[in-house]
Amino acid sequence: MALSLAENAKIILEKRYLKKDGQGKVIEKPEDLFKRVSKTIADADKIFDPEVEIAETENAFHRMLTEFCFLPNSPTLMNAGRRLGQLAACFVLPVEDSMESIFETLKHAAMIHKSGGGTGFSFSKIRPKDDIVLSTAGISSGPLSFMKVYDMATETVKQGGTRRGANMGILRVDHPDIEAFIDVKNQQDRLNNFNISVAITDAFMGALEKDSDYDIINPRSGKIFKKLSAPYIFNKIVTSAWNSGEPGVLFIDRINEFNPTPNLGNIESTNPCGEQPLLPYESCTLGSINLAKMVSGGKVDLKKLKATIGHAIHFLDNVIEVNRYPLKKIEDMSKGNRKIGLGVMGFADLLIKLGIPYDSDEAVVRAEDIMSFIQKESKTASATLAKKRGNFSFYSKSRYDRPDTLFMRNATTTTIAPTGTISLLADTSSGIEPIFAVCHTRHVLDGKTLIQTHPLFVQLAKEHKFYSKQLIMDIAEKGSVQHLAEIPHQIKELFKTSHEISAQQHVRIQSAFQKHTDNAVSKTINFPNSASENEIRQAYIQAYQSGCKGLTIYRYGSRDKQVLNIGEKSPETLRPCSSEIVPRPRPERTSGMTQRITTGCGNLYVTVNYDEQGMCEVFAQMGKTGGCASSQIEAAGRLASLALRSGIKVDAIIKQLVGIRCPSPAWRNGGMVLSCPDAIAHVLKNVTHSELSETGGMLGVCPECGNVLVHAEGCMVCHSCGFSKCS
């Protein structure tokens, strides 16, 4: 049977997964990749029985992968059967309160980033800023200073890698530096290689409920440092998240309540997207079942789902064996606990196939039913493996240490992880998120765009006889169908996008999956731009009360708004209108796209670049001109760049440039380009139109393909090529 791949999946495989020679030429076919991965992972069976025949297992794995019923995390697809051989996506490393530990961990993190992994750290054990340092009679610089060192190191290491280094930075809510930590990413030029989360304790939530103070503890001495108002700190978290989407929150005591091996220590941190709590030196081995492939005849095919779960657990346990770990300590912990995380993708597509709106009570019930089934069957599959291979070696230190008859191969079996890239390979919706858009545009060569429409919408539109090319164009303008009268109500209900689902329903879906998941759930709770801080506050409370282990929120458009800070002054002390506007510096590294546009003087090449804060630079070059014309084009680009970095909105720049005439206008795509400045305006308008929609806030462009980045699954991701800032 021939491998069926969506066009976008072929592009992603060639760019990110297939083997290349020394010149960067692809030397592997997609079919070869899946054979390579299937054989490498099936070969692990021989470790336990050298005489075993693996052909049947290899075929089962290959069929599961090529039918896109299940896919492992990206490092496994990239590296299985290759020289690097590092198959895990994420790791947690300890940070103790000493220079030796801090920089030893930094060295280990660099090794992990070099191998393609992401890292999580808790900085909660580091003594606070200005605390005493007995060995030198000096004062401590505090955890934030060391986070900045880690951030710079990550930036340096990732320059030479195929996958970006990513970090999770965590600080307990009872640490003396918690206020500075909460505020640190309101200036969005800081810690750009980190997601940050506050570790919220039950004691804090109890004080919040009582509207009272709670204890701040100096981690060096273990003594009470001072008391702070819980409502005050909670409001700071809410305000910061409203402004920038960070920090996230982790309910750390709840996480440890479900720590499967408490005798090995407390869990202090998670991986970069927050779904995998881990002990120090543990790694995670993840994979996801494509729920969209588990529907047959309008029902969930439980027989197929059960078989897929069994093969997936076998596959993930084998990954632990054949993985080449970056550190011996990580290998020992990973093989000692054998944590795996089987999750899902395509949940939104499954609901559409079943005729269930995502924004409904029935969707919540279905989420619980499906994840309960996966949890139960994954435990059965793990126990079956344990009878053949033995319990995980730290079993005696686990919560499972009850009757002698209980078998368990893996300390955990389930995790709901982000599936940004692998869901694109499988041509399905991402993780447990709603659909991103019914239609969205993707940049292709020569500045043109390609409209991609959800295949299930096209299918239903044709079945109900309201499909037309004009309809698709109308949908593409907003990515939504809710404004179109010709679409039946029941179809509109099925195709609500992520920003059209209430925050309460987002949390309900997350909670439903969390009830039957060992580890945690990666999801973004989306809010409209108009959302109040109180709405975000209520989402946090709802998440805590409904059993979630953490929460990540994103208010549409929030990252476009910058708070101007002069020196060290806080925003509250600034004048409403400054007499002097100082542009932010041009960053050392930008990402962007170049578009060719025809003018009366020839082809003009316009480059638009972005940094973490959005559009920051425009410059243009004419292929065959020089002298005065060239200098004027350069001046227009420089002034536009200066305006962008001074906070001027791009629409205002477009308004000033559009319509400027020169003696040599030109026709292009049915419209007239009046001059080179007018051409620059056309490019800016085209970029802005395609990247600002009601389906997601513009967070800049993808550094790999030039398309829009959106906030989903706890991270900034690209729905065109699968790039993720967190992996």
Read off the pLDDT of residues 139-173 as tens digits, 9 standing for 90 and up.
Answer: 999 999 999 999 999 988 865 454 556 899 999 99
Percent helix, strand, coil in the chain, to 5, is: 40, 20, 40
Residue 45 pLDDT level (bands cut at 50, 70, 90): very high
* Side-by-side strand order, sheet with 614-622: 591-599, 602-611, 614-622
Give the range among 480-489, 533-542, 559-568, 707-716 with minimum mean pLDDT. Answer: 559-568
711 vs 551, more confident: 551
273 assigned to active site: yes
CA distance 310 to 377: 7
271 assigned to active site: yes
Percent of the chain with pLDDT over 70: 90
Answer yes or no: is pLDDT of 571 > 80: no
Helix axes 143-158, 99-114, angle to 10 degrees: 30
Answer yes or no: is pLDDT of 386 > 60: yes
Compute φ and ψ for 273, nearest 5 degrees: -95, 0
> Model confidence over 671-698: pLDDT tens digits?
788 889 999 998 888 776 554 443 445 4
CA angle 480, 481, 487 (to 5 degrees): 170
Structure tokens at 459: 């299918």
Q: Which of 69, 90, 273, 721 is catalytic?
A: 273
Answer yes or no: is pLDDT of 582 > 50: yes
Q: Which of 275, 500, 617, 691 is catalytic?
A: 275
Average pLDDT over the chain reads 89
Domain spans in the chain, listed from the N-terminal domain onward: 7-87+282-360+409-425, 90-270, 591-691
pLDDT of residue 568: 36
pLDDT of residue 438: 95
Domain range 90-270, CATH class? alpha beta
Residue 443 pLDDT level (bands cut at 50, 70, 90): low
Q: Which of 193, 271, 318, 410 is catalytic?
A: 271
Give the range among 239-253, 371-385, 555-569, 659-673 with minimum mean pLDDT. Answer: 555-569
669 assigned to active site: no
Answer yes or no: is pLDDT of 317 > 90: yes
Q: Is the dihedral of CA 386, 388, 392, 397 positive or negative?
A: positive
Residue 619 pLDDT level (bands cut at 50, 70, 90): confident
Chain centroid to CA 157: how far?
20
Measured from the Cβ of residue 134, the count of other Cβ atoms closer than 10 Å reads 7
Answer yes or no: is pLDDT of 578 > 60: no
Long-range Cβ contact pairs of 702-711 (< 8 A, separation 24 or more): 702/591, 703/591, 704/15, 705/15, 705/443, 706/443, 706/591, 706/592, 706/593, 707/442, 707/443, 708/440, 710/436, 711/245, 711/524, 711/526, 711/554, 711/559
For residue 127, what is the DSSP state? Answer: P
Answer yes or no: is pLDDT of 561 > 80: no
3-state secondary structure 605-655: EEEEEEECCEEEEEEEEECCCCHHHHHHHHHHHHHHHHHHHCCCCHHHHHH
Beta-carbon contacts of 122 under 8 Å, excluding residues fewer than 6 positions away, are 94, 95, 170, 171, 172, 199, 268, 269
**In terms of pTM, does the model score above 0.85?**
no
CA distance 49 to 107: 37
Closest to 16 measured CA to CA, from 62, 64, 110, 79 = 79
